[in-house]
Amino acid sequence: MNNLSNVVIPQETIGILGGGQLGQMMAIAAKQMGYKVGILDPTPNAPAAQVSDFQIIANYDDQEAINSLANKSDVITYEFENVDQNTIQKIEDKVLVPQKLNELIITSHRKHEKDFLFNNDLPVVNYKYVSNKEELTSAVNQIGFPSILKTCEGGYDGHDQIDINNERDMVYASNNLSDREWLLEQKVSFSKEVSIMVARNSDNQIETFPLSENIHKNHILHTSIIPGRVPSSVHEQAKNIAVKIAKKLSLVGVLGIEFFLLPNNQLIVNEMAPRPHNSGHYTIEACNISQFEAHIRCVCGLSIPKIKMDHKAVMVNLLGKNVLKARKELKNNPNWHLHDYGKAEVRVGRKMGHITVIGNSIEDLLGKVKQFK
């Protein structure tokens, strides 16, 4: 173990920090290629652990446990950006950690992320850093209504966000600031939300996946339509932005980039995630290589093929009890590609699985999953 060369070959071990569905699909891709996989996650029998060789049950800031994973692995990667950066830094001399710490520092903190975009002349909304009531008042005066207050760290699927549309919202936000770091962002009127996945390896080989059109419900991704129903200029614009970001970050692995599409067909970067992304799950069935295999190839120092889309696709998330419905109806839907993550507890709004359908007509594909509207 403890391979410190830049190339990790099948039968060697990939350690993954995080045991959720992204780790699970990474692990499946790695196992198909012949790698051994170890998972570190605090939940026993986490989804990723169900398809891996071993699991270390521990919190992500447990240095002893992270050291143990490093000792058993030839390369370390992660499935989400809120892992403990200090613990990762302490294992870089023990095991190959190809993803630069810079990726985590920038993408796990909203101000760092927005500053990175702004400083590299990438399209971003107006924003202001906020740490107290006075700064909030000043920020709202500069940005105006409507705006949205988000925590700089943590928060996903709409958590830890406060809409500020008027003075009453402003008072509520002031009273709920707590002692965290916040970012006030201008709310923009957009026509669609889209996203793209970009992969880069350590040899600076860069590939982008097709642009996905995304529909959210209650701040959670519900449906992805691929290719996104937008002009070809928008597809090209997204690709160019993704390539620039990958280069500027010195990315290794897959990065998900979410955009707002403005009515004038210009894109604004909303968020970035330094790992495979929910809206890229369609790649498993619809492309010649999945985002998960691309990620494994990149962190293991392998080359990646030119990305090709073999089919149009629609992906729908199975939230909460919808997974129970999908299990029952699977026998009558042979065109469904069902991915059930194996989570122990069904909860409202929790991502329990997804279904992808592939074909030639987006309208037909939307009809095949219409029961999950």
As given in the structure block, the two tokens for residue 275 are: 């790992």
pLDDT score, position 362:
97
Judged by DSSP in three states, 217 sits in: strand
What CA–CA distance (Å, rounded) separates 177 from 183?
11
Whole-number percent of the chain with pLDDT over 90:
91
- Structural domains of the chain, with CATH: 13-97 (3.40.50.20), 126-186 (3.30.1490.20), 192-372 (3.30.470.20)
pLDDT score, position 141:
94
For 74-84, how does the pLDDT look when each residue is reduced to its tens digit (9 = 90+)?
999 999 887 88
What CA–CA distance (Å, rounded) separates 235 from 244?
14
Give Cα separations from 13 to 9, 46, 53, 240, 338 (angstroms): 9, 18, 9, 34, 28
For 190-215, how does the pLDDT look when each residue is reduced to its tens digit (9 = 90+)?
999 999 999 999 999 999 999 999 99
Our CA angle for 227, 317, 323, nearest 5°, is 145
Q: DSSP for 303-367?
A: --PPP-B-SEEEEEEEETTHHHHHHHHGGG-TT-EEEE---SS--TT-EEEEEEEEES-HHHHHH
Tokens 């010195």 locate to 250
pLDDT score, position 157:
55
Q: Which amino acid is at 101?
A: L
As given in the structure block, the two tokens for residue 241 are: 């932005």
Q: pLDDT tier at 155 (50, 70, 90 boundaries)?
A: low
pLDDT score, position 82:
76
Q: Where are the beta strands (DSSP E) in 41-87?
A: 54-56, 75-78
pLDDT score, position 158:
55
pLDDT score, position 34:
98
pLDDT score, position 81:
84
- Residue 263's Cβ-count burial label (10 Å; 0-12, 13-18, 19+) is exposed
Q: Which amino acid is at 210?
A: P
pLDDT score, position 156:
62
For 236-284, how does the pLDDT look when each residue is reduced to its tens digit (9 = 90+)?
999 999 999 999 999 999 999 999 999 999 999 999 999 999 999 999 9
pLDDT, the chain, mean: 95
For 257-269, how does the pLDDT look when each residue is reduced to its tens digit (9 = 90+)?
999 999 999 999 9
Backbone angles phi, psi at 244, to 5 degrees: -65, -45
**Per-residue pLDDT for 48 more than 90?**
yes
